[in-house]
Amino acid sequence: MGNNALGNLGIVERIVRVGFGYGLIVAVLSVSAPTQFVLLLPLIAIYPVLTGMFGWDPVYELVGRSIKAAALSIEKLKRRRGTLTPVH
């Protein structure tokens, strides 16, 4: 899992992923006569639910993206511009 053993997703993204996945599952359960496309939604929902629950996305790992690393990059950029004052 790279250098971050805790995962590469932030808490907000984890919550959004799990909510989105459960929303897809609820959509299937609420349809009275599901079509073939609607029956695929639970399969699509598996990925965001599992990645949200575990806090680790293998695709992010492959492309080297991490929410925490992005936040650090934004903080560094703000410090260079002088828009972020250091906390004492």
CA distance 62 to 59: 5
Q: Amino acid identity, residue 12? A: V
**18, 48 Cβ separation under 8 angstroms:** yes
- Residue 2 has a pLDDT of 46
- The low-confidence residues of the chain, meaning pLDDT below 50, are 1-3
- Residue 1 has a pLDDT of 42
Count: domains in the chain? 1
Q: Is residue 17 part of a domain?
A: yes
- Residue 27 has a pLDDT of 87
Q: Is residue 61 part of a domain?
A: yes
Q: Which domain holds residue 26?
A: 11-81
